[in-house]
Amino acid sequence: MKVLLTGATSALGKAVAKSLRRRHRLRLTDRRRLRTDDEFVQSQLGHGRQTDDLVAGMKAIVHIPGPAVAASADAATWIDTCTRCTYNLLVAAVDAGVKHLVYVTSLDAFMGYDPDFLVSTSWRPRPTTEPAVMAPLLGEFVTREFAQTAQIRLTILRLGHLVDADGIGDDDELDPMAIDPRDAANGVAATLVGDDGSRTYRLFHLQGDFEGARFPIGGGRQQLDVKLQYDFGRPRGERT
């Protein structure tokens, strides 16, 4: 299957590309250049013909939204890249007959809940006004309108924080929202493998599965059929 991957220069994007290329033919894109053996098109996801050309011939799009350099981006850039650019991508995708968009975002919008709560996909996001937390959720807001009006199938995958398991020792403090980038990437890949086209909208949460993990992911993982391989040397979590 031909798949377009946005945000390809990000750490997650690189991991996702590596996972997807086992099964799919990839076209990568990002605001910045990337040296890769895959097909790559630099794009700002504007509303012009370049975005139409970018999505042409694709069966699915994996969209990792956000600024080119997240750490230094201001609020306007966060909001713009997550809303307008996502809209542009979707308008072009619908026009080109792309069947499926996977929107990859974050579990950060759920950190406001009591850590004792077993927060799942059936809980309402409660983002802070921090642009890096709020803007990706606004992007979700945009994508859902396209799915609800049946213009494209949509999968939203909310991920924990990327933490390289190889860099974490048994005694190191571990982010309770950690997920190894390779597991995250396999989760993204699973959204394409497990999509039989029967559902217009799917929503998954995915983070590492270890004792003390912040969010339960049982339902999402089972539906995604992804085996998490990296437990950061911790005991596995409860099957909630």
**Quick check: helix, strand or coil at residue 70?**
helix
**Residue 90 lies near another protein (rule: CB under 8 A):** yes
Give the binding range for another protein (CB under 8 A) out of 29-37, 56-64, 123-131, 208-216. Answer: 123-131
Single-letter code of the amino acid located at 160? G
Closest CA to 198 of 223, 215, 234: 223
Closest CA to 223 of 121, 150, 137, 136: 121
Please state the separation of Cα 191 from the chain's center in Å: 10
Residues 36-55 that bind another protein (CB under 8 A): 46-47
Give the binding range for another protein (CB under 8 A) out of 57-65, 75-83, 114-122, 199-207. Answer: 75-83
3-state helix, strand, coil in the chain (%, to 5): 35, 20, 45
Give the binding range for another protein (CB under 8 A) out of 10-18, 32-40, 52-60, 145-153. Answer: 145-153
Count the neighbouring beta carbons within 10 Å of the beta carbon of residue 39. 12
**Residue 145 lies near another protein (rule: CB under 8 A):** yes
Closer of 65 and 127 to another protein (Cβ): 127
Q: What's the half-sphere exposure (Cβ side, CA atoms, 13 Å) at 49?
A: 0
56, 68, 79, 203: residue in contact with another protein (rule CB under 8 A): 79
13, 66, 127, 187: residue in contact with another protein (rule CB under 8 A): 127
**Residue 134 lies near another protein (rule: CB under 8 A):** yes
C-alpha–C-alpha distance, residues 148 and 200, integer Å: 8
C-alpha–C-alpha distance, residues 175 and 162, integer Å: 9
Instruction: Give how many residues touch another protein by CB under 8 A.
Output: 27
Smallest gap from Cβ 126 to another protein, in A, equals: 7
> Which residues of this chain interact with another protein, rule CB under 8 A?
46-47, 74-76, 79-80, 83-84, 87-88, 90-91, 126-129, 134, 137-138, 141-142, 145-146, 148-149, 151
